[in-house]
Amino acid sequence: MRLQWSPRALEQAEAALDYIAEDRPQAAADWLSGLFEWTRMLETLPLQGRVVPEAHRDDLRELIYGSYRIVYRVRGDVVSVLLVHHSRQDFDAGEVDPSE
């Protein structure tokens, strides 16, 4: 499997990194490194995450990483990370672009 990140997911990860870095720069760097390491497991275990319960769509799955939900989709041999969403925020499946 090949892992790819959507521009939106990368932007969200960067925003989270910046937020964490305001108070704890080293923790932010560790968080980002861990985020990429955690998602790398999807290359070999793409169905590891659960179906996103409130999305009511079988094609959206998620991993939990700290306080963040990593929303992804598996299509063929590609795992696409679509969103890095803080768990305190409401999730709207409409946020996911069907073309991604």
Q: What tens-digit pLDDT sequence spans the chain (100 residues)?
A: 999 999 999 999 999 999 999 999 999 999 999 999 999 999 999 999 999 988 878 889 999 999 999 999 999 999 999 999 998 887 776 777 666 6
CB 93 within 8 A of CB 82: no
Q: May I ask the CATH class of domain 2-88?
A: alpha beta
Instruction: State the pTM of this model.
Output: 0.89
| pLDDT, tens only, 75-88 | 999 999 999 999 88
Sign of the Cα pseudo-torsion (96, 99, 9, 78, in order): positive
- Name the residue among 21, 41, 42 with its Cα closest to residue 30: 21
Domain positions in the chain are: 2-88
H/E segment holding residue 16: helix 7-21
Q: Give the pairing type, strands 50-51 and 61-65.
A: antiparallel
Nearest to 12 by CA among 98, 77, 87: 87
Distance CA 91, CA 70 (A): 11
Q: In 3D, which of 55, 86, 41 has the Cα closest to residue 68?
A: 86
